[in-house]
Structure 1
């Protein structure tokens, strides 16, 4: 699905970027290039696969963007006037100095941007502190709601982001004994401030902490168990709460019902497996715990409008 023009860029009558904006972007790119002393991406990895990476990407580096965010937690900071992304079938538009927070579970299909800064990291690097669940892998910025979490940086938080970006770059360039804890603590500081800003900018959503905790716990449990656990009742048991209470809370805060969230996550994985694996439809059906291939095919067609066999055939034909 293409990015709508009015979401990302002003276009002229011929459907091209205006010459004025192209010139502005050219000078902006030259300025970034001249000011940059780093060859991106800058990567840190330990012997036990704790991974942290910083990178900058520009308009002609879409493949580089995909390579960096795939399979990682990502903090995506927009440096240009506007950028747009299709993430899990949602169109997400962000303005300059807005920040997106993505997990390894997010599927990004199309992007349009001029310049981004990206921090990426894996579970082993980031998920180290269970004492503050709001700030970790199960926190508001990564499994807090159905919509993709984003914040708009204020003047103070922009300065904070700039300072810590440069600090992280310096740390990555030097070898010393305490590099890992310094990088981890700086990242957790960024996540902590971003979480506080997210709460301020989403005050209606955050007004009842116990209900918000339940929503993010529900999302997190689905992400870990969607292949095997498929009913709201089962997740309700895991959360020690009634299915009706869960439904009422989601109706109050979220745009999707608890059952829709389960189905959409399973459908998203089915699409990914049809696109990215050579597994048969029967194998995919079994892996997602459907009772038989016919039930899976009916489920897939209900949510996509096309049978899984036709979906895969269309993908193959497009590649020819």
Structure 2
């Protein structure tokens, strides 16, 4: 059983718990990045209302944007959580290079399947975290920040290996990662590949070829999936009308948004909301 939480004077929050499903305060905190690691058995969850079954030695990486509900625990799992006030992955991008890779706003979340060796490496980090969590001095906060950073970097390396990132692909892969970050920041105003190609000083064709060589979805698909994810979250978790949502997402009118949503999901906006929400709208 592991249940540890640190709140700093500057509203930094770090937690490691094996019973996230029982901790209402952590569940309701909308500022937390999360690593959910199944240590044994199976964990059944819904992420952004999408059912997901995580098996032993699988990790899901979630941003504060993702809505997660633990449906069934058949075994043990560990959740490592932190907010940007404790460790800012954007401000420390040169240190961990996980923003736009482990963490981005699409509902297509990064899932890692650990090898026995990778599992052992992460277990070592957890063991060090447990030791340090019992130390009470003025160095503890910084030590825990270093341990968190080590956990993030280890997961980033595992993900890079999963995606087959070779030393020759480093630069190309970094452009893909920066593209995801830019989409997260600008998808409401910018919906064309050219908009992002200009920001990255590349041509749209160069970007498309580069994404294909890295084995990731096309640039346009990534933009569309980010808009789709936000539309679904607003429909599922807020009481905003379809018209309000279309304006928030930067569509010129409701009919354009409705056509986009139907094309992406196969459902009308009203049918999607009706079939996926029951009772009161969640916060």
Q: TM class by shorter-chain length? A: 0.7 to 0.9
Which protein has the bigger helix share?
1
Out of 116, 120, 123, the residue aligned to residue 162 of structure 1 is: 123
Tell me the equivalent position of 1:43: 5
Local SS of the residue matching 1:254: coil
Distance in 2 (CA, whole Å) between partners of 1:140 and 1:291 is: 30
In structure 1, stretches of 5+ residues that fail to align are 1-35
Normalised TM-score (structure 1): 0.74
Distance in 2 (CA, whole Å) between partners of 1:269 and 1:262 is: 11
Local SS of the residue matching 2:189: coil
Structure 1 residue 193: deviation in Å? 2.6
Tell me the equivalent position of 1:10: none
Out of 60, 73, 98, the residue aligned to residue 33 of structure 2 is: 73
Structure 1 residue 210: deviation in Å? 0.9
Local SS of the residue matching 1:290: coil
Out of 64, 88, 97, the residue aligned to residue 127 of structure 1 is: 88
Distance in 1 (CA, whole Å) between partners of 2:28 and 2:274 is: 29
Tell me the equivalent position of 1:283: 244
Tell me the equivalent position of 1:193: 154
In structure 2, stretches of 5+ residues that fail to align are none
The verdict on how the C-alpha distance between 1:148 and 1:158 changes in structure 2, with shifts beyond 3 A counting, is closer
Matched, 1:247 2:222: no
Structure 1 residue 185: deviation in Å? 0.6
Deviations 1:176-214 (A, max 9, x none): 212221111111112223333333444357651111101
Query: Does structure 2 retain, via aligned residues, the 8 Å contact 1:68–1:120?
Result: no
Local SS of the residue matching 1:124: coil
Query: Does structure 2 retain, via aligned residues, the 8 Å contact 1:57–1:65?
Result: no
Query: Does structure 2 retain, via aligned residues, the 8 Å contact 1:76–1:100?
Result: yes
Tell me the equivalent position of 1:29: none
Tell me the equivalent position of 1:232: 193
Structure 1 residue 143: deviation in Å? 4.6
The verdict on how the C-alpha distance between 1:199 and 1:296 changes in structure 2, with shifts beyond 3 A counting, is closer
Distance in 2 (CA, whole Å) between partners of 1:86 and 1:192 is: 26
Structure 1 residue 242: deviation in Å? 0.7
Distance in 1 (CA, whole Å) between partners of 2:68 and 2:258 is: 24
**Rg (Cα) greater in structure:** 1
Matched residue count? 278
Query: Does structure 1 retain, via aligned residues, the 8 Å contact 2:98–2:156?
Result: no
Tell me the equivalent position of 2:19: 57
Matched, 1:273 2:270: no
Tell me the equivalent position of 2:220: 259
Deviations 1:60-114 (A, max 9, x none): x488698278642212221114445554687765542233322223454675542
Structure 1 residue 49: deviation in Å? 1.7
The verdict on how the C-alpha distance between 1:266 and 1:126 changes in structure 2, with shifts beyond 3 A counting, is same
Tell me the equivalent position of 1:99: 59
Structure 1 residue 294: deviation in Å? 1.6
Normalised TM-score (structure 2): 0.82
Structure 1 residue 147: deviation in Å? 5.8
Which protein has the bigger strand share?
2
Query: Does structure 2 retain, via aligned residues, the 8 Å contact 1:126–1:136?
Result: no
Query: Does structure 2 retain, via aligned residues, the 8 Å contact 1:74–1:119?
Result: yes
Local SS of the residue matching 1:126: coil
